Amino acid sequence: MKERIRENITEPEALERLYREDKKSFEADFEQVYPEIQDTDIARFWKARLEFDQPAEKVYNPSRLDIIMLIVACTITGFLIKLPEIFNLSLKEFFYYAKDGAIIVFFGLSLFSILTNKITDRKKLVFTLFAFLIPAIFINLLPSNRESNSINLAYIHLPFLMWCIFGLVYIGFDTKDKTKRIDYIKYNGDLAILGALILIAGGILTGITIGLFSAIDVHIEKFYMEYIAIWGLVSAPIVASYIIRNYPTLTNKIAPIIANIFSPLVLITLIIFLIHIPISGKDLFSDRDLLLVFNVMLLGVMGIIVFSVSETSIHKKQSFSEMILLALTAVTLIIDLFALSAIFYRLFEFGITPNRIAVAGSNILIFGNLVLIMIDLYKVNFRKSEIESVENTISKYLPVYMIWTLIVVFGFPILFGMK
């Protein structure tokens, strides 16, 4: 329904027809898509029409079915995370959370998405099941060996693979529609913000609860952490997803503010960091830890750029934000060039290892993506191109990351002989 509303936003008759076909779905989806279309007179008319008989502060009353679906998804996810205790598995020997934690969390999110979107197509359900089952079987058959770089890389890249699979479920398996991929990126930004707030609130509740019981000499720390805290930890993304779905106006106001605040702050931080590298005397080519920090920072900044672009695009043209994004992308490209130089130096100097190949491949992919993003942002700032062109570049590049992740997760342990 959301996509049909976008497509027909300039067609009053078509919108009226959609409304009469399914009034409840139209109202819910219109509220979610409104920030993207609020600049049009028809959108403002429909918002006034739909909210005319409502109080000034709209209060959402969740249906019993919504609550049941949330509880079911959280219960199944919590049960799966506690499987080691049910089957008496040793966490130190089996690495259950490293192997299965991401699979369980994204399976819970996928299950909630399937339930709320009422996906009943058998082919889609079977595909989803096998998309989670095959990586789960493969990763659990790998030796529990912390000394193996290729296996550790599979653990590290597995969450991103699960993120991609969940993305397919979220967009309804419609891989041709690029706008749905951008919707998924926006959703992840909202999910990160709300998830963080929920975890902070949960941490405060945990401290208060343990403190209160300790005051009366009842020590519940072990029970609370093993059964309540970990259950809440894996349920937090599902609860955040529930809030995003049912309270879209709340998240639509928070995310753009976060993007507009953090983009310039990150840009300033990166510039100061680059200036201080030669002053500090650190050698990126010989200091392995500094190179690791570089790559972690690069991934984080890349995420901020993608998130900021997706949030900027749903509002009126923001010249300042778009210029900040261009500068941030350019600085990040410089950082990536430094990182790539050091990575290739270490490859030629010290030889090929799984870690060096994985880092080199990731940096090359990110560099290519940043170049394309910077070209589009240049056109947005100086050629009057639309910010949506940047979104299209980002959405087209996502499958490239997924293919590389598949290679690292499934290929590296075999290619490098579990070393």
pLDDT tens for each residue of 6-24: 778 878 888 888 888 777 7
Query: Do the domain assignments include residue 57?
Result: no
Query: Do the domain assignments include residue 23?
Result: yes
Residues in contact with 58: Cβ distance below 8 Å, sequence separation at least 6, in sequence order: 51, 249
Last residue of a domain, one of 190, 219, 246: 246
Say if residues 338 and 388 touch (Cβ distance below 8 Å): no
When pLDDT is averaged across residues 56-80 and rounded to a whole number, the result is 78
Query: What confidence score (pLDDT) does residue 410 get?
Result: 93
72-107 burial code (b ≥16 CB/10 A, e <16): ebbebbbebbbeeeeeeeeeeeebbebbbbbbbbbb
Say if residues 329 and 380 touch (Cβ distance below 8 Å): no
Query: Do the domain assignments include residue 202?
Result: yes
pLDDT tens readout for residues 163-197: 999 999 998 888 887 778 888 888 888 888 888 88
Query: What confidence score (pLDDT) does residue 52 get?
Result: 63
Say if residues 357 and 319 touch (Cβ distance below 8 Å): no
- One domain, residues 335 and 226: no
Residues in contact with 97: Cβ distance below 8 Å, sequence separation at least 6, in sequence order: 91
DSSP string, 257-289: HHHHHHHHHHHHHHHHHHHHHHHHT--TTT-HH
- One domain, residues 241 and 283: no
Pair of tokens at residue 175: 């891989």
Last residue of a domain, one of 219, 246, 273: 246
- Structural domain including 298 reads 249-415
Q: Which of 306, 238, 304 is nearest to 267 (CA)?
A: 304
To 10 degrees, what angle do helices 64-81 and 230-246 make?
A: 150
pLDDT tens readout for residues 189-206: 888 888 888 999 988 998
Three-state secondary-structure class, residue 372:
helix
DSSP string, 221-262: HHHIIIIIIHHHHHHHHHHHHHHHHH-HHHHHHHHHHHHHHH
Percentage with pLDDT > 90 across the chain: 22
pLDDT tens readout for residues 250-298: 766 676 777 777 788 888 888 888 888 777 777 767 766 777 777 777 8
- One domain, residues 225 and 281: no
- One domain, residues 236 and 276: no
- One domain, residues 100 and 120: yes
Overall domain count for the chain:
3
- One domain, residues 229 and 254: no
Distance, in Å, from the CA atom of 390 to the CA atom of 185, rounded to the nearest integer, reads 13
Q: Which of 157, 108, 113, 149 is nearest to 132 (CA)?
A: 108
Query: Do the domain assignments include residue 59?
Result: no
Residues in contact with 311: Cβ distance below 8 Å, sequence separation at least 6, in sequence order: 186, 189, 255, 256, 258, 259, 260
Query: What confidence score (pLDDT) does residue 72 get?
Result: 93
Last residue of a domain, one of 246, 268, 285: 246
Pair of tokens at residue 152: 């550790």
- One domain, residues 81 and 165: yes
For the chain, give percent helix, strand, coil, nearest 5. 80, 0, 20
Distance, in Å, from the CA atom of 282 to the CA atom of 294, rounded to the nearest integer, reads 12
Say if residues 255 and 190 touch (Cβ distance below 8 Å): yes
Distance, in Å, from the CA atom of 182 to the CA atom of 6, rounded to the nearest integer, reads 14
- One domain, residues 203 and 299: no
- One domain, residues 17 and 91: no
- One domain, residues 113 and 29: no
Query: Do the domain assignments include residue 116?
Result: yes
Query: Do the domain assignments include residue 56?
Result: no
Is pLDDT above 50 for 68? yes
- One domain, residues 236 and 294: no
Query: Do the domain assignments include residue 278?
Result: yes
**Least reliable range by pLDDT among 32-36, 107-111, 226-230, 335-339:** 32-36
The pTM for the full model equals 0.80
Query: Do the domain assignments include residue 372?
Result: yes
Residues in contact with 36: Cβ distance below 8 Å, sequence separation at least 6, in sequence order: 6, 314
Query: What confidence score (pLDDT) does residue 56 get?
Result: 44
CB atoms within 10 A of CB 169: 25
CA of 290: how far to CAs of 49, 87, 232, 267, 279, in Å? 57, 41, 35, 19, 14
- One domain, residues 237 and 108: yes
**Residue written as token pair 């597995």:** 158
